[in-house]
C-alpha cells in the first residue's frame, strides 16, 4: 500500500469486501466448505453493490432477483457500476432486490446477497472504467442477464443484504486507514530525503520554518493515523463490540489527513513532486512517485463512503440514543398512555444524564507521563461538551437537524479528533512503557494533540454562530444562475 495503491485496492476488494469476508461472517458451513478453498488456489472475488443511478442509498437499487416457479433458483437482472475486480472476478457477492415481504400489513423491501459465479453464464463485462489514478485496478460496469443462481447461494437469508453490506463495509473501511497510512509514510520518506538534500538560500530546506512545520505536522499526524488504524483493527479482531462507529471515524480521520499529507509532499518537493516518476528517472533523478500517489489518493475520501456520508452516518449513530428516547414519546404509532409513561421515563433519564455532562471529565489513567496528562483531561472534558452540544442541537432543530449538515459535520469533526487523540495517546503511553528511554512517541502524540485541540476549539466556536445560512443562500443563487456572468468568458 505504501508504494502501489492499486495493489492495496485489489486485495481489499478481494478479501475485505469480496466474497471471503461476508462468507466467513454470515455464510453457512456448506458455503464456506464450497467457496473458501477456491480463494486459496487463485480465484478472485468482488463485491457488487453500487449501480449507475444508486450510490450511497442502496435501498433504491434496481437490480432484481426473481424466484423461479420451483423455488430452487433466483434469476438476477440488472447492472452494477464501479465493481472493483469485477472485470476479472470469477466469484462475487451481488446485492439484488428480491420480492417484498408483508410486515405489519405493509410491503417491506427485501435486499438479498447472492454468491454469483461467472461460470453460471449471463455475467457481461460492459465496460472497464478508467480513473484519474489507480490505473492498475480492474474496475467496471457489469450487466447481469438472466443469471440463474441456486437458493443455496444466498448469504444470510433473504432480506439480509443490507445488513451484510453494512457489516462488510466495516471491514472494508478498516483497510482504508492501513492503506492510506502506508501511502502517507511513503510521502514522508520522500519529503525527509528531499528536505535533507535540497539547499535554498544557504540552508537545507528542512531547516526553514515553513517546510519544517509541514514536516512536523506530517510526522505527528502519521503517528496518530497508525494509532487509529491499529486500535480500530484490534477492536475488530476481538469481535466483542459493534465497531460501526469506530470504523467510520477511522476511515474519515485517516483518509482526510492522508490527503493533506500527500498535498504537502507535492508542495515541498515542488516541480519534482508534480513530475512523474518515469520522467524523473529518464533524466537521472530518483523516481519518487509522489505525483502518482496524489492521483491515487484522491479517491480515498470517496470510496467506502464519502466523507460527507461518513459524517452523516457518524452523526446518526451518535444521536441514536436520543432519537430512541424522543421517538418513544412523539412517535405516531405510540399510544397516548404509553406516550405519557415514556415521557416520564425520558424525563427521569435526562434529569440524571444531563447534569453529569457538566461534571469534570474522567480521571487520567495511571502511568501517563506528565506531558500528556493535560491531553487526557482535555478529552474527558470535551467529550462531555460534545455530548451537551449534540443534545442542544437536537432540542433546537428536532426533526430538522438532519438537514443541518454543516452543524453535524462540525460535531463529527470534534468527535473524530477526540477519537484520534485517544488512540495516539494510548499508543504513545504503551510504546513509552516498552522503551522508557525513547520519548519519540510522546513527542509525536503531544504535537498531534496540541494541533487537534486547536481544531476542536475552532469547530466548537462556530457551532451555533456562523455564516452557514449565507453560504447556503449563495450556493442556491449559483445553482439558479444568478452568477452566470462568472462563466461567460470561458471556452
Any idea of the CA torsion for 137, 141, 146, 147, to the nearest 10 degrees? Answer: 10
Give the residue among 128, 24, 121 at the shortest CA–CA distance from 82. Answer: 128
Name the strand (E) or helix (H) holding 484: none
Q: Residue 427 corresponds to which cell in the numbers above?
A: 499508543
- Are the CB atoms for 423 and 445 separated by under 8 Å? no
| CA-based torsion, 412, 415, 419, 424: positive or negative | positive
* Active-site option among 29, 256, 304, 402: 304
Q: Is the separation of the CB atoms in 48 and 94 below 8 Å? A: yes
d(CA 103, CA 307): 34
How many C-beta atoms lie closer than 10 Å to residue 13's C-beta?
Answer: 26
Q: What whole-number distance in Å separates Cα of residue 370 and Cα of residue 351?
A: 36
Q: Is 387 helix (H, G, I), strand (E, B) or coil?
A: helix
Q: Do 48 and 83 meet the contact criterion of CB atoms below 8 Å apart? A: yes
- The DSSP secondary structure of 229-258, one letter per residue, reads HHHHHHHHHHT-S--HHHHHHHHHHHHHHH
Q: Which candidate, 124, 126, 113, 121, places its Cα nearest to that of 148?
A: 121
Q: Which three cell numbers stand for residue 274?
A: 508534480
- Alpha-helical segments (H) within 5-98: 5-11, 20-26, 29-39
Is-catalytic flag, 304? yes
* Residues 6+ away with beta carbon under 8 Å from 326: 346, 394, 398
Check if the beta carbon of residue 155 is closer than 8 Å to that of residue 114: yes
Residue (of 97, 64, 84, 98) closest to 142 by Cα position: 84
Catalytic residues: 304
Amino acid at each position: 500500500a505504501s508504494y502501489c495503491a492499486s495493489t492495496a485496492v485489489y486485495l481489499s476488494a478481494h478479501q475485505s469486501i469480496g466474497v471471503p469476508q461476508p462468507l466467513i461472517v454470515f455464510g453457512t458451513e456448506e458455503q464456506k466448505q464450497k467457496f473458501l478453498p477456491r480463494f486459496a488456489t487463485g480465484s478472485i472475488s468482488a463485491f457488487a453493490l453500487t449501480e449507475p443511478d444508486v450510490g450511497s442509498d442502496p435501498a433504491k437499487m434496481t437490480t432484481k432477483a426473481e424466484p423461479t416457479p420451483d423455488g430452487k433458483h433466483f434469476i438476477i437482472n440488472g447492472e452494477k457500476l464501479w465493481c472493483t475486480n469485477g472485470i476479472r472476478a470469477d466469484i462475487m457477492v451481488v446485492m439484488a432486490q428480491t420480492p417484498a415481504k408483508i410486515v405489519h400489513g405493509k410491503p417491506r423491501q427485501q435486499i438479498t446477497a447472492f454468491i454469483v459465479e461467472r461460470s453460471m453464464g449471463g455475467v457481461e463485462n460492459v465496460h472497464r472504467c478508467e480513473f484519474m489514478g489507480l490505473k492498475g485496478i480492474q474496475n467496471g460496469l457489469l450487466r447481469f442477464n438472466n443469471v440463474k443462481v441456486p437458493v443455496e447461494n444466498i448469504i444470510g437469508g433473504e432480506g439480509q443484504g443490507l445488513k451484510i453490506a453494512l457489516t462488510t463495509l466495516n471491514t472494508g473501511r478498516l483497510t482504508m486507514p492501513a492503506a492510506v497510512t502506508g501511502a502517507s509514510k511513503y510521502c514522508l520518506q520522500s519529503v525527509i530525503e528531499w528536505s535533507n538534500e535540497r539547499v535554498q538560500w544557504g540552508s537545507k530546506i528542512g531547516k526553514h520554518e515553513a517546510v519544517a512545520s509541514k514536516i512536523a505536522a506530517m510526522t505527528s499526524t502519521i503517528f496518530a493515523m497508525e494509532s487509529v488504524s491499529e486500535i480500530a483493527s484490534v477492536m475488530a479482531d476481538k469481535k466483542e463490540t459493534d465497531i460501526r462507529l469506530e470504523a467510520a471515524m477511522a476511515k474519515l480521520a485517516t483518509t482526510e489527513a492522508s490527503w493533506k499529507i500527500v498535498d504537502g509532499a507535492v508542495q515541498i518537493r515542488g516541480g519534482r513532486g508534480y513530475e512523474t516518476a518515469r520522467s524523473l528517472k529518464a533524466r537521472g533523478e530518483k523516481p519518487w512517485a509522489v505525483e502518482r500517489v496524489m492521483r491515487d489518493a484522491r479517491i480515498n475520501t470517496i470510496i467506502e463512503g464519502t466523507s460527507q456520508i461518513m459524517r452523516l452516518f457518524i452523526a446518526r449513530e451518535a444521536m441514536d440514543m436520543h432519537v430512541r428516547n424522543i421517538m418513544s414519546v412523539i412517535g405516531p404509532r405510540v399510544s397516548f398512555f404509553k406516550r405519557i409513561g415514556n415521557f416520564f421515563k425520558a424525563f427521569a433519564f435526562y434529569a440524571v444524564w444531563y447534569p453529569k455532562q457538566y461534571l469534570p471529565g474522567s480521571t487520567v489513567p495511571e502511568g501517563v507521563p506528565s506531558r500528556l496528562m493535560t491531553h487526557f483531561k482535555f478529552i474527558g472534558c470535551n467529550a462531555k461538551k460534545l455530548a451537551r452540544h449534540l443534545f442542544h442541537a437536537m432540542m433546537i432543530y428536532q426533526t430538522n437537524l438532519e438537514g443541518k449538515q454543516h452543524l453535524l459535520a462540525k460535531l463529527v469533526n470534534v468527535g473524530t479528533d477526540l477519537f484520534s487523540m485517544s488512540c495516539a495517546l494510548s499508543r504513545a503511553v504503551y510504546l513509552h512503557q516498552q522503551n522508557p528511554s525513547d520519548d519519540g512517541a510522546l513527542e509525536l502524540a503531544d504535537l498531534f494533540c496540541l494541533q487537534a485541540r486547536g481544531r476542536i476549539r475552532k469547530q466548537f466556536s462556530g457551532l451555533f454562530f456562523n455564516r452557514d445560512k449565507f453560504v447556503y443562500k449563495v450556493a442556491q443563487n449559483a445553482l439558479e444562475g444568478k452568477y452566470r456572468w462568472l462563466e461567460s468568458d470561458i471556452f
